[in-house]
Amino acid sequence: MNHGANGDLKIFAGRSSEVLTERMCAHLKMDMGASHTVVFPDGELLVKLEEDVRGRDCYVVISTCAPVNDNLMELLTFVDCLRRASAARVTVVTPYFGYARQDRKDEGRVPITAKLVANLITAAGADRVLAVDLHAAQIQGFFDLPVDHLSATPVFLDYFNTVRKELGDLCLVSPDVGNVKVSEGMANLLGGDLAIINKRRLSGSTVVTGNLIGSVEGKTVLMFDDMISTAGTVVEAAKLVMNRGAKQVIAAATHGVLVGPALERLSSDLISKVVVTNTIPQGDRVGPLKGKLVELCVSKLLGEAINRIHNNQSVSALFQKNAGTKR
């Protein structure tokens, strides 16, 4: 890719996504945009661009993971900064979109914060959004902007196809009913059976697992979800399938949120491997999972999507190997 084709393309990184953005830029054979974020003693942020963006096609990559509100404020400030520096187009790239679980009123007197965040990004001056595996597909409709919703399925497929022989007799288990479509898609793509667990959620951190529909006896169980947060769902599901005679359990999720008791829960013998992507940087905090955690990289997927958007090509062509999205 020559510099001429991408001469007016600029990709900037927020603090949460610097490593991922560097890899995206390496894939596109270009330098990352120069900027820095200053945090003042009172906690306020200042984003400063260190190069000219006037008339350019600009992308800012920030996962709004923990600390969620700091990263979200940095994202909004970054968009405003690019807009005021006369960028021709500003695309927000959120590999992980925080507040996505607050996507509906499931009881009285609660907000729909996912919609509020979409409004904030729009009000800040973004022109379009690029996201990976939103918690619910309908969040795309919360934005009054074009949204390119990527699936990390191709990244997982590449990995699991390389270790497919070791997995042996495979069963894709959906840890909840909302994820059946994704699990069914992966079962078809990897060649495995499908089983479903119906779970009941008692609160934000407590899940009671119900029945297993299907057989897992003697099989390697692969559980897919869009995120692993406290790991309550996946560990309860692992207990259930191991009790039903599963050989081993592999937990896979696009977003390794891994908060609270997650690391301790996942380090138990119930789960043999945890596979996540680097939409959320793990850094040094995953000590207890050493040797068990596999981190896949989404930089080529995102880099290719940016390249296609920049050159006005189809992004949906990236969805050929796709297991669908959670509903």
Q: Is 199 a catalytic residue?
A: yes
Query: 115, 181, 199, 292: which one is catalytic?
Result: 199
SS (H, E, C) the chain: CCCCCCCCEEEEECHHHHHHHHHHHHHCCCCCCCEEEEECCCCCEEEEECCCCCCCEEEEECCCCCCHHHHHHHHHHHHHHHHHCCCCEEEEEECCCCCCCCCCCCCCCCCCHHHHHHHHHHHHCCCEEEEECCCCHHHHHHCCCCEEEECCHHHHHHHHHHCHHHHCCEEEEECCHHHHHHHHHHHHHHCCEEEEEEEEECCCCCEEEEEEECCCCCCEEEEEEEEECCCHHHHHHHHHHHHCCCCEEEEEEEEECCCCCHHHHHCCCCCCEEEEEECCCCCCCCHHHCCCEEEECCHHHHHHHHHHHHCCCCCHHHHCCCCCCCC
Catalytic residue annotation = 199
